[in-house]
Amino acid sequence: MKIILLPKFGSAVAAGFPSAADDFLEAQLDLNQHLIKHPAATYLARAQGHSMRGLGIFDGDTLIVDRSVEPKHEDIVIAALDGELTCKVLDTKNHLLLPANPRMKPIVIGEHSELVIEGVVIHSIRHHVCPG
């Protein structure tokens, strides 16, 4: 994996009024090291649809998924339920896969369903550049 170091500001960037930026450069940051704790167990997936928008995951976002993280109640997971992949919140107490959108219904994990958790979503990346 190629390491690419990017400059990192030492202070927060105002989302309102602009401030001088050059005085705040602190260090360089390797995004692989910052976002990926277990490289051999991590993969990327593209989110599709609107069921997770309440948790800030939107259609087209890139999900960073770690297979080595033990899935727990209320984790965001990539699940294969009866062979169908989905990104949902794991509800181990009620045996459900929950959307984060009130317009969507929970998915019941039936007694005879085959559920495989493919990993826990640890980060999402959104593209903000306008097309054109």
Is 8 catalytic? The answer is no
Size of the chain in residues: 132
- Catalytic-labelled residue, pool 11, 19, 51, 93: 51
Angle, CA 15 vertex, CA 9 and CA 18 arms, to 5°? 75
Is 113 catalytic? The answer is no
Question: DSSP for 95-107?
Answer: TEEE-SSTTSPPE
Q: What are phi and psi of 35, to 5 degrees?
A: -105, -20
Nearest alpha carbon to residue 119 among 74, 70, 85, 86: 70
Structure tokens at 100: 């984060």
Which residue's entry shows tokens 């087209």? Answer: 60
- Catalytic-labelled residue, pool 2, 88, 93, 113: 88
- For 22, which DSSP code? G
Question: Where does 10-75 show beta strands of DSSP type E?
Answer: 25-30, 42-46, 62-66
Which residues are annotated as catalytic?
Answer: 51, 88
